[in-house]
Amino acid sequence: MLVNSEFLPSEKEFFEFLKVRFSTVGLDFEEFYEIGIIERSLQILEKRFSLIRTKYFTNSINSKARFSATHYSGHALILYQIARECFLDGRVDLAERVYFLNISTTSADLHYEIDLPLRTGCDHPFGTVIGRAEFSSKATLFFNQQCTIGGNFDTFGEPKYPKIDGSLFLHPKASLVGENFISGLVILGNSSYVKDFGELKDCLVFGESPNLIVKTLSEQIVLNHSFFN
């Protein structure tokens, strides 16, 4: 049961909109209610949205999580979480359809097998792909449009994936692939491409691997730059 949320334009219209979207891929929205998927998803999303410092996810006056029927950035995270809960419940058949629905309606590819941190937010996630990566419980992630997180093959043909143990912010078209270790605050600049760089901590990154420009962030920026509560 949600205790710190509001629905726009109303709770009824929000859920009616979801029902229509689910029907487009042959899903019965009521089934998700019956098996507890919707309740578990919304409980996690209420916590997630209330931690994001933007007016589209959190009411700045009363700090309530905002569920909007027409905010597509929010829907990308909503559909991801529903697919994730289906997967954890052993219903991969349902997870696959919700995953497809997310891609087809928000153009955000957030795979349900990836355990995104609670502090995950986005703005205009059109064309973004969040693939295989390992996030710690204290990690945070904020991404924009056409961003990529995923793997790369090493010289032995083995796939390597990023590990995020800090706060990662991706500007539009930023990519993080392969063996990278993120700690502290790391900001990837517009159109940056980071591949198999190794460890990155408290820095701003520009350019493309192997010719990256890495600038150390000041302690003040590290302490104050966050999209999350």
CATH of residue 150: 2.160.10.10
pLDDT of residue 229: 87
Domain hosting 96: range is 1-107
Q: Of 78, 107, 136, which residue constitutes the final position of a domain?
A: 107
Which residues fall within 8 angstroms of residue 119, CB to CB, at 6 or more apart?
A: 48, 51, 52, 139, 140, 141, 228
pLDDT of residue 222: 87
Q: Of 55, 88, 107, which residue constitutes the final position of a domain?
A: 107
Same domain assignment for residues 92 and 120: no
- Per-residue pLDDT of 146-186, as tens digits, reads 999 999 999 899 999 999 999 999 999 999 999 999 999 99
Same domain assignment for residues 125 and 222: yes
* Tally of structural domains, the chain: 2
Which residues fall within 8 angstroms of residue 109, CB to CB, at 6 or more apart?
A: 102, 103, 128, 129, 130, 131
Same domain assignment for residues 124 and 76: no
Residue ranges of the chain with per-residue pLDDT less than 50: none
pLDDT of residue 17: 95
pTM: predicted TM-score of the whole model, two decimal places = 0.95
